[in-house]
Amino acid sequence: MIFGCHLSIKNGYFGAAKQASKMNAGAFQYFPKNPRSLSVKDFNQQDAIACKEFCEENAILTVTHSPYPTSLTPNDKRKRDQVIQSLLNDLEITEACGSIGVVVHFGKEVSHLTLLESYQLIIEMLNEVLGEWDGNAKILLENNAGMPGAFGTTLEELVQIRKLCDYPEKIGFCFDTCHAFSCGLWDGENWSDLLEKGEKIGYFKELQLVHFNNSKYDTRLGKDRHAPIFGPGYIKESQFDQLVNTTQLANVPFILETPKEEIPHEKEIQLLQEKWGDHF
């Protein structure tokens, strides 16, 4: 199993890679630039190359996460143009650092649009970005948190959006355990059913990353509050065990986005490796 966490790039991309190595992590996630801005970053190419080479030498997988303001359902043309240019910049940095792809939240239902028009807007945004992108890094669509039936909370939605996009080969998926738990997609008891469904529609074939988070709230309450894997969360250790023991996930990185002030990520990675590291 491949375990890691989200790391800061305050010391550069190479600095984050060296920190992951010190933590004995097999993977890490990072923001390619300021997480609160859609501004385009003129990044340090040498730093990115050093990160890529170090991770290749040390068998560390990496992935980026788009900044918080990134939206595949922007409110207006100005925001739309900003998101497109920002995502292209994210993909460029992701590629330069040798990372798998950039995680992007599915999008939200737009109040003044019909449900179908909201889906269509996501497809248009993906087509516009990926039509200009010719690198290997992918956009990784992440399942949404929310109440049962909320927009972007089902595997079928993610698979269908990818299928309807002009560039499906440039799109993969990121599965967030807390998001899935919040809406009841995975309630802790239905993993075998979810796995069967995901296999049938081709979801797991394109899964590139798991955001490995416990939940501070019970399932189907629509609350997206992360908790440590072995802390006082509502997802039981035995329920995580079903997920971790899934052979389809054997080579997929599990990235912690848990509150590190409760359990330091280095310690949590150590606990994960002790319990599940040698499963495959």
Map out the domains of the chain as residue ranges.
2-276
Locate tokens 């920190």: which residue?
A: 19
Banded model confidence at residue 277, pLDDT cuts 50, 70, 90 = confident
Summarised one tens digit per residue, pLDDT across range 45-88 is 999 999 999 999 999 999 999 999 999 999 999 999 999 999 99
Strands (E), the chain: 2-6, 27-30, 61-65, 101-105, 138-142, 171-176, 207-212, 214-215, 226-227, 253-256
- Which whole number is the average pLDDT over 113-129? 97
Architecture of domain 2-276: Alpha-Beta Barrel (3.20)
Longest dimension (CA), the chain: 50
pTM, entire model: 0.97
